[in-house]
Structure 1
Amino acid sequence: MMIQQSNCFVIVERGGAMNKMMMERQLAQSGEMRSGSNMGKGQVVAADYTMSPTITFSQKGTQGMGGMLGGTGMLGSIAGAVAGGIKANEASTTLLMIDNRSGVQLAAAEGSAKNFDFNVAGGLFGGGAFGGAGGYSNTPEGKILIAAFMDSYNQLVRAVRNYKAQEVAGGMGTGGALGVQGGSTPASKALDKPAPKDPKAKKKQ
């Protein structure tokens, strides 16, 4: 939904609704549809690119700011309780954009998100009357993942805007520019060719 609403890409259906689309085509083929419905072949738009999402890191409730607010006396005890009540929820995600025709990865982007849960009352009063009420309730992990993917997507859009096609000597998929002696790729054959003679080199007497 986030990518669809950004209007940066045209999204084609390849999920569950695809089955409903095929059902409509089966009805058209059976002759049950009205004439002029225009459900003929050759109208489905090809997907030029695929986006592949990955969650590279996701952790909920890790201790945050530990050791930063230590001290002595009453102030130090309160500060330590505050630090003990702060926990971080964080996630890191990646998005890859792949060209469906060639299989080449065109762009890659990484995003991250973090928020903090505050449970100062529980830290101060040891779970008494105020122990169950933190300053902020725990945010669901899903919201952190969504925020991380939003960051990934924003980075991906920037990468696509600055995209420059890569070039490989001899063409992509022909073996690359790194040859292997005795190989059959253009780069490998170039290794086996005798070195051209230098016309300026002096002949030995």
Structure 2
Amino acid sequence: MRKILFAAAAGAAAVIAAQPASAQYGMDKKKPAGTPDLPQCAQPLGRVAIKDPDREWWTQYGLSNPESLIKLFASRSNCLRVVDRGAGLAMRNEEAALGSGGDLKRGSNIGKGQVAGADFFIVPDLANSNSNSGGNHIGAVAGAFGRSLGGLGAIAGSISTKKSEAQALITLIDARTTEQLYVAEGTAQKTDISFGAGGGSYGWSGFAAAAGGGYANTDIGKVVTAAYFNAFVDLVHYLQTSAPTGEQASQAAGIQTYKVKQAIVMRKTPSPTAAQVRSFNVGDSVFPTGQKNGIWWEVDDENGNRGWVSSAMISNLN
């Protein structure tokens, strides 16, 4: 009887081991080798605005927008500053409207030119989620030997059946050029949250509970939290090693175009009596170099001619 028991157990293990990794995990993406810790940054790597994906996949799982997870990871790690283009921007615009209407107290200092720009856009999405995938791989084998294996069949089934798994994606986009820079990936399954805290000292359950929106109430919610955590770690690694900094991205995007508001003359030096380089008509484009002398700005024209104009006579296209 003992020989039969061990032979059956070995056969079940062989069936599972013979399956490719993609079949065992339910997706092509390899399972992470280990649980990483949340990275910690001495200085933020840039400002990001979070954009919803085209499909609201989270609703079918009873979860809230994953934006809450990204904001939590960004805040805890100090690696990203999130500029809120949703409720935060709407409330700020309401305050600005009160200010322009004269309703705010003196010194409130809320007005134009104060909203921080995003260096990057990030789009959280889900490539794969299965709340009951892979459950029959071991369960069916154990069930076939249920009577002869006794308790072993129940143990094998309880560990491996109905395992939730998810593959999360975070797409990184240059906010100025709209170029897609990177797609961070993270995978997780139920065993990742069942046998260890994960996520460093805070733990999956802690992150899921802090994010709210149903992420702490179900296994799939916790698994999605873990998958996004792993994707965030991947994203930060890319930002630290390969991505341009916010300042570099700004410089690489090129010089902003300004339009001439009133017919003016370009001068060789910042003086109204300096030699004339050329004249501009209303609507002509100029490109500031960043050099300034009082009201005078150094600019290039479309042909590369360089000189100085009055900044009062040009305006940003934005």
TM category (shorter chain) comes to 0.5 to 0.7
CA change 1:72–1:48 in 2 (3 A) is: closer
- Distance, in Å, in 1 between the alignment partners of 2:170 and 2:81 is 17
Does structure 2 retain, via aligned residues, the 8 Å contact 1:97–1:107? yes
Deviation digits for residues 35-70 of structure 1 (CA, Å, limit 9, x no counterpart): 221112101101111111111111113315345657
Query: What residue number does 1:52 align with?
Result: 123
Q: Structure 2-normalised TM-score?
A: 0.42
> Aligned to 2:226, what secondary structure does the other structure show?
helix
What's the RMSD between the two structures over aligned residues? Answer: 2.9
1:75 Cα deviation (Å)?
Answer: 5.0
- Distance, in Å, in 2 between the alignment partners of 1:72 and 1:30 is 78
Q: Structure 1-normalised TM-score?
A: 0.63
Query: What residue number does 1:16 align with?
Result: 87
Structure of greater Rg: 1
Q: Which runs of 5+ in 2 are unaligned?
A: 1-71, 195-216, 245-252, 254-318
Q: Which of the pair is proportionally richer in helix?
A: 2
Q: Which runs of 5+ in 1 are unaligned?
A: 119-137, 166-171, 173-205
Matched residue type, 1:32:
D
- Distance, in Å, in 1 between the alignment partners of 2:141 and 2:178 is 48
Larger relative contact order (Cα-Cα within 8 Å, sequence gap ≥ 6): 2
CA change 1:78–1:45 in 2 (3 A) is: same
Deviation digits for residues 1-28 of structure 1 (CA, Å, limit 9, x no counterpart): 2222211011111111221111100000
> Aligned to 2:122, what secondary structure does the other structure show?
strand
Query: What residue number does 1:141 align with?
Result: 220
CA change 1:77–1:71 in 2 (3 A) is: farther
Q: Percent identity among equivalent residues? A: 33
| 1:115 corresponds to 2:190 | yes
Deviation digits for residues 57-113 of structure 1 (CA, Å, limit 9, x no counterpart): 111133153456578585524323333333211111111111011011122211011
- Distance, in Å, in 2 between the alignment partners of 1:53 and 1:5 is 18
Query: What residue number does 1:83 align with?
Result: 156
- Distance, in Å, in 2 between the alignment partners of 1:40 and 1:23 is 11
